[in-house]
Structure 1
Amino acid sequence: MQTARKVLTPDALAMLQTIADTGSFAAAARALGMVPSALTYRVRQMEDALDVLLFDRSSRQAVATQAGLELLREGERLLQEIDAVANRVKRVATGWEPQFTIAVDAIIAKATVMELCERFLEGAPPTRIRLRDETLSGTLEALTSGQADLALGVADLTQNAALHSHLLGEVRFVFVVAPHHPLADATEPLCDEELRQHRAIAVADTISRGRGMTFGLLGGQDVLTVATMQDKLDAHIRGLGCGFLPESMVVDHLATGRLVTRSTVRATRVVSLNYAWRASSSTPGRALQWWLDVLGSATTRAALLQRHRGV
């Protein structure tokens, strides 16, 4: 009988993932260009080596058992580790990261990020850029968990020896509502008790573990939670709720009357945001160095926080 070490190869783990993704042995065989009997034989080899059943074959669908699900989870992690090793080897040889992932917080001006990506790619570097949309704690988590190489818009960055960071800038938040919202005609400054009677609009924290961060929400207040800052802006304009938004994001809408600002008893909130990257004893990769050089410009940093025109 084959041993687990001999049958649990990267190709075999990828094959199991294909079966799970396609939902059947026949579909997986077609996707992999294999004869169905050959695929079934390889799965049985793994099951014999592990002495477990990986897929329930009682129906036409290939449904992973609990043991199968665990192997799929661990297999995905192992495949990612193999890719990471290959990437590190290639980086040592060329100085360029094969892939460079940037976690972009919802508060960052996406148009500016795209312009920077355009400038980066003009040089035709051998690096693929991947952008991740994150919010609040999720932005930092993407970096600390190794899912991103650079994070833009990190708030409340505590001392962490594993990270380097610099100030990106400050963002001033203003309390806004649609002109047809009940609070548009309420007496100012608005107190917490009055705000509690109206629905707040909040952006969901993208952190995968833990409760995440919230800003400006009151206990007992109804909340509409949306996925992005653009969704939050749209909800405000439609009068679906109230809350704080970056002043730079709403300035045009205030000028046209689509939104109005209201003063509250709470002090105006100004948030300091950072850009951060993981510390390393080795020389930074050339892609990371390019982005750090660009972020050294005060004009670029300001544009990332303020150029929300056209949103």
Structure 2
Amino acid sequence: MLNRVTLDQLQMLLAVAECGSFSAAARKLNRVQSAVSQSIQSLEDALEVQLFDRRQKLPRLTDAGAAILIDARRVISGADALRARARSIATVAEPEVSVAIEQVFPNEVLIESLKKFHEQFPSVSVSLYAEGLGAPEQSMLEGNAGLAIYSPARDGMPGVEMEYFGSIPISIVASKSHPLARLRHPITQSELDDHVQLTLTDRTRRYRGVVISSRSWSFIDQFNRLDFVRNGFGWCTMPTHLARPHIKSGELKELSFAIHSGKPLRFPLFVAHKSDQPPGPAATWLLEELRARFVDWSRRQPDRAIDEQSIQIRVTAA
């Protein structure tokens, strides 16, 4: 009966197979040889299969024993992972970290931070929501995410702790074939009003990006909108790091608006969590790692600008 199989028996099976004899396994495990022999016999009885051929001076794994040995290693490894996870839950960190992040957040920062996080907390699970406008805030408020990094429509919310995280450089772009791309001067409001702006919104339509033109189309997904602007459907504001490859290839052209007086645009990000649900040790570690890597990423941007000299693009709420 399988319910008679114990981890101790499986560990002895591994020891005998690795050491080559019952006596050597007994020395390794600090047990008497008779205990090891009896344990292996009990395991064979429970599995109803012979694991070792004992006709020679040294026991040799049978074909069945070699197959069972593979499963035994898997079971022991799983038990070790279970113990590690239990220790993590009890003494070191929370069992899971959940984070909702605005789609504008640079992927290279996120990926490298999560690699380091996994090295530091191998038994902690991560739930990551890379979402569109307004969605990270909703995920945090609904309890799906403990931390949210996004651009809020308002500076403060009851029951929510919020702190400035950093900002993303923004470019205004249109396809090279778009009429606005042919203009050589800073574009005026009247010229903008003749063309469709591709804006962002959320499914509930409670949040909306900055609308400059009197004509606009709304998109929920940042990357779907990028496909449309690349194909000549209007113009839009876009995180510079997402637009840059298409600007370099000549597919998109960066526009200049008279209303901005040549000042660079930036999209501010804040980190937020519910006041009664502060981040645990693992989430706190991840947040600091994200912050440090984001600062380094910002310094490496070729067209970075000092925040104080920039125009901040803010999300609006209905």
TM-score, L = length of structure 1:
0.59
Per the alignment, residue 204 of structure 1 pairs with 201
Counterpart of 2:177 in 1: which secondary structure?
coil
Q: Per the alignment, in what secondary structure is the counterpart of residue 140 of structure 1?
A: helix
Q: Which amino acid aligns with 1:176?
A: V
Which residue is 1:74 aligned to?
A: none
Post-superposition shift, 1:243?
1.4
Cα gap change, 1:226 to 1:128, in 2 (>3 Å) = same
Q: Which residue of 1 aligns with 2:221?
A: 228
Count of aligned positions? 214
Shift of 1:277: 2.3
1 CA distance for matches of 2:162 and 2:88?
A: 22
Shift of 1:130: 0.9
The superposition leaves residues 84-127 of structure 1 with CA deviations (integer Å, 9 ceiling, x where unpaired) of xxxxxx99744533322111101111232122222212235332
Partners of 1:216 and 1:244 within 8 A in 2? no
Query: Is it true that 1:192 corresponds to 2:189 in the alignment?
Result: yes
Contact 1:174–1:246 (8 Å) recurs in 2: yes
**Gap change, CA 1:108 and 1:127, over 3 Å in 2:** same
Describe the SS at the equivalent of 1:120: helix
3-state SS of 2:94 partner: coil
Aligned to 1:169: 166
Q: Is the 8 A contact 1:178 1:239 kept in 2?
A: yes
Task: Decide whether the 8 Å contact of 2:101 with 2:148 is kept in 1.
Answer: yes
User: Structure 2: how far apart are the matches of 1:202 and 1:305?
Assistant: 28
**What is aligned with 2:209?**
214
Asked whether the 8 Å contact 1:101–1:130 carries over to 2, the reply is yes
| 2:241 aligned with 1:248 | yes
Residue pairs, 1:30-109, within 5 angstroms: 93-109=90-106
Secondary structure at the aligned position of 2:282 is classed as helix
User: 1:256 Cα shift?
Assistant: 2.6
Contact 2:110–2:290 under 8 Å retained in 1:
no
Distance 1:190 1:232 in 2: 22
TM-score by length of 2: 0.58
Q: Return the offset for 1:305.
A: 10
Is it true that 1:258 corresponds to 2:251 in the alignment? yes
Conserved? CA contact 2:114–2:286, under 8 Å: no
CA distance in 1, matches of 2:294, 2:149: 12
Give how far 1:142 is off.
1.8
Distance in 2 (CA, whole Å) between partners of 1:289 and 1:203 is 30
Counterpart mapping for 1:106-145 below 5 A:
106-145=103-142
Cα 1:281–1:140 shift into 2, 3 Å: closer
Q: Tell me the C-alpha RMSD between the 2 structures.
A: 3.2
| Counterpart position of 1:239 | 232
* Matching residue's letter, 2:142: S
Aligned with 1:164: secondary structure? strand
In structure 2, relative to structure 1, the CA distance for the partners of 1:272 and 1:281 (3 Å cut) is: closer
- Tell which structure's C-alpha radius of gyration is larger: 2
Equivalent residue number for residue 290 of structure 1: 285
